[in-house]
């Protein structure tokens, strides 16, 4: 039971990083400034690298002949376990940076706990990723402050982004029964502690520029953890998976 639960947990981590990285890479050639384009691509590549580490471990545990590439490019939408938040469209720059901040605050809290995991493979991957995500969180948090406390137009856009994304944050403080068992075994992160750390981080950044903090999000009828995704994931996967599916035997 632990083995199957762990595989699903690794897919949650890997798929979320992969899809968020893919979304960021869609900004290539469209960012508001050259420096921001480079920064967005670097964060996206960090996340893709982290996704590979999680998916490689999941593939090894599955022992069904698949590897990380097969998990990324050969699964259908319902087999993905990423957070609903990360599959949402980029929108404008305010939406992108708020989405990144919400994800980073969750990701940072998760990795902090996982770096102390009783599973040495998980602890090693998390410790390495935490160094990168510490920078990701600082950067996205500063952008929320800059936009939320900047010009009238930038604040208007940030205020519009909050209700657009807030409903998807319910998953960031949630956890399945399997995740709770992994946490009790000292392998996974405690969803309650992660949720509390996430809310504390978000509350502090919002308060610093007087952004309104919405009430706790209600349970959503979709769930990335169980493969019930929004319509946006299928479109993203069609783009991301086209070449590997069209030319499955191609090599570099």
Alpha helices for 115-222 (secondary structure H): 120-148, 152-166, 177-184, 191-208
Neighbours of 210 (CB within 10 A): 9
Predicted local distance difference test score (pLDDT) of residue 2: 67
Q: What is the mean pLDDT of each run of 10 residues along the chain (252 residues)?
A: 87 98 91 85 96 97 89 94 97 97 98 97 98 98 97 98 96 88 95 96 98 87 91 94 86 71
Output DSSP code: residue 171: G
pLDDT at 148: 98
**Which pLDDT score is estimated for 195?**
95
| Whole-number pLDDT of residue 29 | 85
How much is the pTM?
0.95
The pLDDT value given to residue 171: 93
Q: What is the spatial distance between Cα 43 and Cα 48, in angstroms, rounded to a whole number?
A: 9
pLDDT of residue 31: 77
Here the tokens at position 3 are 């083995």
Could you give all domains of the chain from N- to C-terminal order, each with its CATH number?
2-246 (1.20.1260.10)
């Amino acid at each position: 039971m632990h083995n199957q639960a762990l595989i699903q947990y690794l897919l949650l981590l890997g798929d979320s990083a992969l899809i968020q990285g893919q979304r960021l890479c869609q900004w290539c050639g469209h960012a508001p400034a050259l420096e921001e384009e480079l920064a967005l691509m670097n964060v996206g590549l960090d996340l893709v690298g982290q996704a590979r580490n999680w998916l490689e471990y999941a593939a090894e545990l599955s022992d069904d002949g698949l590897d990380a590439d097969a998990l990324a490019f050969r699964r259908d939408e319902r087999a993905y376990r990423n957070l609903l938040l990360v599959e949402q469209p980029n929108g404008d720059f305010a939406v992108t940076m708020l989405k990144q901040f919400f994800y980073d605050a969750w990701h940072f809290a998760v990795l902090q706990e996982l770096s102390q995991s009783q599973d040495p493979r998980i602890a090693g991957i998390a410790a390495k990723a935490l160094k990168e995500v510490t920078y990701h969180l600082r950067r996205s948090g500063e952008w929320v402050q800059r936009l939320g406390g900047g010009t009238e137009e930038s604040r208007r856009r940030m205020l519009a982004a909050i209700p657009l994304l807030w409903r998807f944050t319910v998953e960031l403080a949630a956890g399945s029964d399997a995740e709770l068992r992994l946490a009790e075994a000292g392998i996974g992160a405690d969803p309650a502690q992660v949720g509390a750390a996430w809310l504390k981080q978000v509350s502090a950044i919002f308060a610093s520029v007087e952004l309104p903090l919405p009430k706790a999000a209600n349970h959503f009828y979709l769930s990335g953890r169980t493969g019930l995704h929004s319509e946006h994931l299928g479109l993203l996967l069609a783009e991301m998976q086209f070449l590997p599916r069209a030319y499955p035997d191609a090599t570099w």
